[in-house]
A and B are shown apart, each in its own frame.
Chain A
């Protein structure tokens, strides 16, 4: 965890860790894991809200809890940029992390695989592997997606690859 900013570190220690090592094909054990995922997501969302750092919405879009959809946003130069967020829980979960997708940014940055999967190889995958099965969805968002947005969105905005939604209609405004 060297090289991470103290804020992320302190947030991370407050997200509840998970204990059940189970994937979507593991029946009752998966239900148990899903409960732990919810608890850690609830705790993380509450923490973000109370720290005035609310930055995502995510919920399961099927009853099995294997497909998740929502939104995430990032504020740059006092403007809010919002994106759809989606991912599947892989069959080999939690040995492998969910592949977080921002479909609207597909093809706009090199730090992304096809389909809008963000590149997590260097900054996140080793951490996930080391902390299996204690890390869950909330940790993936905190350590995978948040730093990715912080690194990529300013570059995408400054290079003009993405525009603020208000800019699309009135581009003369400064």
Chain B
């Protein structure tokens, strides 16, 4: 537009020069003025805001962070500006992931890594974030477009790929390990991974990557009937991993047969997805900025407005090898963890004026620690609070096959087998 206007000005100038009759010059000058006005209008159009170097707490209309920095003044968050150091990876930029990305962007998160292989469709318009004019763009590109407009301070990285394939998984893991954003950060290159995917396969892939990398992550989900959802915090070795027990779903509390309609694969509502994204990012902020209580599991049943919570210990018989390794490390590190906790308690105790809690203790009553190893049994992950059910059954214990029936001659040649199948195929 700007270029065209400029060309128009040039044309007018040459027209003015070539006209022998000076009587038209005044009207040409008038035209030129109008074009110049249009040009300046065009320039002052929707402008992108500039990057902000430091988050200011100053309360002025032009400060994008004033209301967030006020969290410090209110005594909720100790140091809000730390949020700019954090990297969060969001896997799945759909109804939940895109809204979570927008929330974190508006909160001024340091860096977002976005993963999705899908394109925006008109069928997505019943959810938030994406706009009709973005149809056919990849979800990652469309998200970067919107998010960089909202807050140019956020570093955005987009990965358009399927993380469940062998190649996609490798790229996923290496992108999480990349520490160029904050080279001196311990562990991986991200502070938290958020799983906002809509299928079991992708959740298991995130679980696999996070267990291998010892990466804390949060899982989120909305039921296929769109009326319930959940979020869950997963710390490898410390809490149940996604493979420790079959996934939980929030029971709708209504006869399931009245809900499940044959022939429809998935329903969705912007409300349920917005609520779950809100719960997920709230938990993320609490986790990153260290305030309030981070929920280990929070369910949402919209039909009865019921929010079940629970904690899940890891399963010592988990089928995921990396999970078992993390569990071992967690047990080994227990003395160090206890010592650190004790040191912290003592440091806090020093701040409080010392006086005996109870003047006498006639009956020698003492408090004993009942958390930790003793309670780490599988039964804890078998019992579920009211309102939660398992989505899939556990694998049966392998009925040991009589080896004679299935002779496992491991010296079989793979090529030979391939040829046999090809022969049948032809």
A60 partner residues in chain B, CB cutoff 8 A: 418
A97 partner residues in chain B, CB cutoff 8 A: 201
The reply to whether the CB of A59 lies closer than 8 angstroms to some CB of chain B is yes
- Would B414 and A41 count as touching, CB distance under 8 A? no
- Would A126 and B201 count as touching, CB distance under 8 A? no
Q: How many A-B residue pairs have CB under 8 A?
A: 114
The reply to whether the CB of B363 lies closer than 8 angstroms to some CB of chain A is no
B208 partner residues in chain A, CB cutoff 8 A: 91-92
The reply to whether the CB of B68 lies closer than 8 angstroms to some CB of chain A is no
Distance A39 CA – B410 CA, assembled complex (angstroms): 12
Please classify how large the interface on chain B is, using the bins under 10, 10 to 19, 20 to 34, 35 or more. Answer: 35 or more
The reply to whether the CB of A24 lies closer than 8 angstroms to some CB of chain B is yes
- Would A17 and B392 count as touching, CB distance under 8 A? no
A11 partner residues in chain B, CB cutoff 8 A: none
Q: Which of A13-55 contact B (CB under 8 A)?
A: 16-17, 19, 21, 24-25, 31-32, 34-36, 38-39, 41-42, 45-46, 49
Interface centre among A19, A38, A91, A99 (most CB of B within 10 A): A91
Contact string against B for A residues 113-152, beta-carbon threshold 8 Å, 1 for contact and 0 otherwise: 1100001010001100111111000000000000000000
- Would B205 and A91 count as touching, CB distance under 8 A? yes
The reply to whether the CB of B319 lies closer than 8 angstroms to some CB of chain A is yes
The reply to whether the CB of B275 lies closer than 8 angstroms to some CB of chain A is no
B396 partner residues in chain A, CB cutoff 8 A: 130-131
Please classify how large the interface on chain A is, using the bins under 10, 10 to 19, 20 to 34, 35 or more. Answer: 35 or more
| Nearest CB on A from B247, distance (A) | 10
A88 partner residues in chain B, CB cutoff 8 A: 162, 164-166
B406 partner residues in chain A, CB cutoff 8 A: 16-17, 19
| Nearest CB on A from B205, distance (A) | 5
- Would B394 and A129 count as touching, CB distance under 8 A? yes
- Would B410 and A119 count as touching, CB distance under 8 A? no
Distance A141 CA – B243 CA, assembled complex (angstroms): 24
Closest to A125 in B: B392
Closest to A60 in B: B418
Distance A130 CA – B208 CA, assembled complex (angstroms): 20
Extra contacts, 16 of them, besides A110-B265, A134-B398 (Cβ < 8 A), are A25-B166, A35-B412, A35-B414, A35-B417, A38-B417, A39-B412, A45-B424, A46-B424, A91-B205, A92-B201, A92-B208, A96-B201, A111-B263, A121-B224, A129-B393, A131-B396
Interface residues of A (CB under 8 A from B): 16-17, 19, 21, 24-25, 31-32, 34-36, 38-39, 41-42, 45-46, 49, 57-60, 64, 66, 70, 88-92, 95-97, 99, 110-114, 119, 121, 125-126, 129-134
